[in-house]
A and B are shown apart, each in its own frame.
Chain A
Amino acid sequence: MDISFNNNEIHINIDTSIFNIDAIHKCFYWYGDDYSVTINSSSDNSVFVMLKQKNGKIKSDEEDKLIDKINNDLLDFQTRDTVTKETKNIRDLLVAKAFAHSDIYDEDPPGEISDPVGFKV
């Protein structure tokens, strides 16, 4: 990832083989309060994000903090995206089971049903 500053703009080139486009969009959605956000595809495997500060200029002593924040936010949103996509089917199953009006989605209880008291003949 390449981050540079230009007056009140932050320019970010992101490798989409590391951060996917969904995670990038979800991450920079949250920058919309303080920045105007532009996201463009710059090549087959990268996107260009421009953050333009709405009020005032970015101070030079804030730049390192912003780089850290952008890096961490992207990692977090990539992690969230991985969880969302990896668990989509199990979440769908959980919700279907929760709201099913019959026991058609019920699993057999785990383990062998034993008869310790000896009720069965």
Chain B
Amino acid sequence: MNRKSRKFLPQDDFNKEGENYFLLPFRFININKHKELLVNDVGDYIISDIGTARKVVNREIDKSGSLYADLISKFFISEKDIPELIDIQATRYRTKKSFLDEFTALHIFVITLRCDHTCHYCQVSRQTSNKSKYDMSKKNLDRSIDLMFKSPSKHITMEFQGGEPLLAFDNVKYAIERADKLSKTNNKEITFVICTNLASITEEQLHFCKDHEVLISTSYDGPKFIHDSNRNFSKGSSHEVVTKKIDLVRKILGEDQISALMTTTNLTLQYPIEIIDDYLAMGFNNIFLRPISPYGFAIKNEKKNKYEIENFIDFYIKGLSHIIDINRKGRFFSEDYSTIILSKILTPLPVGYVDLQSPSGAINSAIVYNYNGFVYASDESRMLAEMSDETFNLGHVKDNSYNQIFYGEKSKNIAKYSCNEALPGCSECGFQTFCGADPIYNHATQGDMTGYRPTNGFCKKNMDIMRYLFNLISDDNDIMGIFTNWVHKGKYDFELRNEA
């Protein structure tokens, strides 16, 4: 019997003095005055002294040191021109981009523009009457559902937005029942989400939601004086209604079947701590500190809603610091935007968040069927349409086929500006692997889909937040436990060395 065993080559074979190494693709950026971050194409990173990248490129790295070993093991350099494990790197790269395999997974249905709130930051123009004009017709609803099922994605999320979708609950119910049936014949898994202010939700509607495993996403801006100031409700205090209804939803659907979203206004900016503490008191385990989209109807009221991105960053960092302190005291509570970025940093998997994808999540991950039958590349695209900018109108469900809408000339043109790997200012940015491309934001705020990074709010926000996160990772011994726990939704066991 032949019993050969694998033999290792002698050490000299791996570490030949005088031989130079080969560079592998990586990017770098300073995270503070003393440290720089090196990141490769699959998100492996090294935090090291300023000037490390220059030393790597100039072949000045000591082969006997730990940095050299890190650079080799994390695929920043190779002792062979083509690293022997390149196929593993290729698989990891494919995994990072695997959201593309599924194509459009999130299908947003603007079921009606009618609404019973008049929030001053509302992204869309709201209509209070004329049901026939501002509700999606049954025919267009059917056509939109048919298009949704042509998506190659095996897992589809059907999200109902408005206006207030519950004002057209008959249509929501019809759409869910039809999509539920079609999901079985089309062999697709489907998740339903209703984005609602909850004001008009009834027990009967909630029992329907329970039967069809519908998730509820609501708007909640924190303490009463903020929520009611931001979200004007014609029939009284929106805060009083929504807090009661959140309890009702939890009672009927279950604790984890409802999530909340807040929107940051000029008033909100002054109260990060109060808002977070209010979310905690309401029994939420997370919060999404989310800036207002700086275009469309939202910034028509400049006094209330327009602010510099620097002010948002200041608010965000105060909030995030407070959230980290809460975690240090032993209570799991996460911030969603950081968790999305950290998932990209700490796991090999892609994150299904359309605003931080490259290629962009517009069309590739999400699509919007508007109440009038027009199809838009993203939620923000229909906001622009409400301001008469139809740049991202991809066609109509009645007149255009799936191929014409999803692979037509407009979609192809948007795709040209959808990869941050090929955008000026992004192509060599050290944060690129963790960031995304947003041609719609660029078009809306800077007049073209390429965008101009030195004055770009999307770039400024993401750079500042990522820099802050990497500084924490670099300096704080306990932070990796907390961050990993956020990524694993509170199911990661860790011990704090320095409890608050």
Contact = CB atoms under 8 A, between A and B. Distances in A.
B6 A79 contact: no
A33 B495 CA distance: 44
27 contacts: A29-B424, A29-B425, A30-B453, A30-B454, A31-B454, A76-B30, A79-B54, A83-B25, A83-B26, A83-B53, A86-B57, A87-B23, A90-B24, A91-B41, A93-B82, A93-B86, A94-B25, A95-B93, A97-B87, A97-B90, A98-B94, A99-B97, A107-B84, A114-B4, A114-B5, A116-B5, A118-B3
Contacts of B149: none
A4 interface: no
A94 B93 contact: yes
Given A76-B54, A98-B91, 13 more contacts: A29-B424, A80-B53, A83-B57, A87-B23, A90-B81, A90-B86, A94-B89, A98-B90, A99-B94, A107-B84, A114-B5, A115-B4, A116-B5
B54 A33 contact: no
B455 A33 contact: yes
Interface string B16-45: 000000111111101000000000010000
B281 interface: no
Given A26-B428, A116-B3, A120-B2, A90 B25 contact: yes
Interface of A: 26, 29-33, 75-77, 79-84, 86-87, 90-91, 93-95, 97-99, 105-107, 110-112, 114-118, 120
B452 interface: yes
A75 B25 contact: no
Contact of A80 (B4, B27, B86, B424): B27
A51 B471 CA distance: 31
B91 A91 contact: no
A54 to B, nearest CB: 11
Most buried by A among B23, B91, B455: B23
Contacts of A77: 428
Contacts of B97: 98-99
B85 interface: yes
Nearest to B90: A97
Contacts of B424: 29
Given A83-B26, A90-B82, A115 B90 contact: no
Instruction: Classify the interface of chain A: helix, strand, loop or mixed.
Output: helix
Contacts of B425: 29-30
B187 to A, nearest CB: 22
Contacts of A80: 27-28, 53, 428
Contacts of B91: 98
Closest 9 CB pairs of A and B: A97-B90, A110-B84, A98-B93, A33-B454, A98-B94, A118-B1, A87-B25, A91-B25, A114-B4
Contacts of B23: 82-83, 86-87
Contacts of B90: 94, 97-98, 105
Contact of A106 (B54, B87, B454): B87
B6 A111 contact: yes
Nearest to A81: B428
Most buried by A among B85, B90, B91, B452: B90
B6 to A, nearest CB: 5
Most buried by B among A87, A90, A95, A120: A90
Contacts of B86: 90, 93-94, 97, 107
Contacts of B427: 84
Most buried by B among A81, A83, A86, A93: A83
B83 to A, nearest CB: 8
B27 A32 contact: no
Contact of B2 (A29, A33, A90, A115): A115
Most buried by B among A87, A98, A112: A98
Given A26-B428, A98-B94, A106-B87, A116 B4 contact: yes
Given A29-B425, A97-B86, A98-B91, A116 B6 contact: yes
B4 A29 contact: no
Contacts of A118: 1-3
Contacts of A117: 3
A90 B22 CA distance: 10
Contacts of A81: 428
B152 to A, nearest CB: 15
Contacts of A32: 452, 454-455
B11 to A, nearest CB: 16
A84 B3 CA distance: 47
Contacts of A30: 425, 453-454
A97 B87 CA distance: 7
Interface string B55-80: 00100000000000000000000000
B32 to A, nearest CB: 14
Interface string B415-437: 00000000011011000000000
A63 B22 CA distance: 38
Nearest to B42: A94
Contacts of A105: 90
A116 B5 CA distance: 5
A94 B5 contact: no
Contacts of B28: 76, 79-80
A111 B186 CA distance: 46
A97 B91 CA distance: 8
B56 to A, nearest CB: 8
Given A31-B454, A86-B23, A94-B93, A110 B3 contact: no
Contacts of B93: 94-95, 97-98
Interface string B230-274: 000000000000000000000000000000000000000000000
